[in-house]
């Protein structure tokens, strides 16, 4: 057998090194809570943190957060002060409850019982990298919704909170009806356009406290907070109308055209006796019942028994 010598070309170069001259920007990094890993850049001026988009500059998900929970004041010199906005569950600086205080890089700010943020000052390139890594780890690349893994982490937190506080929360699984025929008839770009539009309409019409995720393929999942089973069915029926009543414009080999799609949904209510896997199984059984009985409908886990 012929012996071949393996060679590597000698390029004769030295690694290029350039010390970063980028200005460091203050940011808050979520270190615990539903949005762990998220990065919030801070600029001089006043920034409000809370769970409501109407009352806060940075919207953060988590149990126990008030609509406007805390206010940060960042000076032109990078000095940061934080103030509690009469929140229900208070704020803590490095573990100590406070109404007002100062923060420096490395300090931890905790809002309520679950959400902690750390003040940091990385180079802007590092900050951008952290943001991109967080998006890649938590978001679905096609629809921009949170992905299955991130949703399951949030569901575990929601189940634990429900067990502790006896809160009313529902879980719904949604499946786009006859999605395979969209791909077969109009092509995969049309199918992708349908998924993007369904995601956008769901995200637009749920309430601020609800969580929408792409669960896989043509399946979506919604966490309906502060809602019992009867109320959850009403909300899902409204969403079904938002999806089905207005046609979607999709690309096809023959040009753009309008098509209409519907969805089927199964919904169940979180309780003290079930874990996340059992909840998903109950919602899946209800979804199967919705599809088996004609599609384009919502079935609750009680009705599917």
* Pairing between β-strand 91-93 and β-strand 96-98 as defined by DSSP bridges: antiparallel
Q: How far is CA 230 from CA 2, 37, 66, 279, in A?
A: 77, 35, 26, 16
Phi, psi of 103 (to 5 degrees): -125, 145
How many alpha carbons lie under 13 Å from residue 303 in its C-beta half-sphere? 16
SS3 call for 91: strand
- In the set 114, 197, 218, 219, the catalytic residue is 218
**What DSSP string describes 106-121?**
T-EEEETTTEEEEEE-
Sign of torsion over alpha carbons 243, 248, 250, 252 = positive
Please identify which residue in the block is written with the tokens 């700010």.
Answer: 109
Alpha helices in the chain (DSSP H): 124-138, 148-165, 179-186, 188-205, 229-244, 276-292
Annotation marks residue 79 as catalytic: no
Phi, psi of 92 (to 5 degrees): -135, 135
> Which of 131, 136, 134, 133 has its CA nearest to residue 25?
131
- Rounded to an integer, what distance in angstroms lies between the CA atom of residue 280 and that of residue 144? 22
Residues with a catalytic annotation lie at: 218
């Amino acid at each position: 057998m012929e012996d071949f010598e393996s060679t590597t070309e000698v390029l004769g170069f030295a690694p290029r090194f350039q010390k970063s001259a980028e200005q460091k920007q203050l940011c808050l990094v979520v270190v615990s809570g539903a949005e762990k890993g998220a990065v919030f850049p801070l600029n001089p001026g006043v920034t409000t943190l809370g769970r409501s988009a109407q009352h806060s500059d940075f919207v953060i998900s988590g149990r126990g957060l008030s609509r406007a929970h805390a206010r940060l004041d960042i000076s032109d010199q990078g000095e940061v002060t934080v103030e509690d906005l009469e929140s229900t569950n208070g704020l803590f600086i490095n573990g100590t409850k406070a109404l007002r205080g100062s923060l420096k890089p490395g300090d931890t700010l905790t809002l309520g019982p679950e959400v902690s943020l750390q003040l940091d000052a990385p180079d802007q390139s590092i900050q951008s990298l952290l943001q991109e890594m967080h998006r890649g780890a938590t978001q679905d690349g096609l629809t921009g919704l949170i992905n299955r893994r991130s949703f399951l982490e949030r569901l575990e937190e929601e189940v634990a909170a429900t067990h502790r506080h006896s809160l009313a929360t529902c879980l719904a699984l949604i499946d786009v009806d006859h999605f395979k025929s969209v791909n077969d008839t109009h092509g995969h770009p049309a199918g992708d356009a349908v998924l993007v539009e369904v995601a956008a309409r769901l995200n637009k019409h749920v309430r601020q406290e609800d969580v929408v995720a792409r669960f896989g393929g043509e399946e979506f999942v919604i966490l309906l907070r502060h809602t019992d089973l009867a109320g959850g069915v009403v909300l899902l029926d409204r969403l079904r109308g938002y999806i089905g009543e207005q046609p979607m414009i999709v690309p096809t080999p023959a040009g753009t055209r309008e098509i209409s799609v519907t969805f089927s949904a199964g919904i169940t209510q979180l309780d003290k006796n079930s874990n996340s896997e059992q909840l998903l199984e109950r919602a899946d059984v209800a979804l199967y019942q919705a599809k088996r009985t004609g599609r384009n409908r919502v079935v609750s886990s009680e009705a599917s028994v």
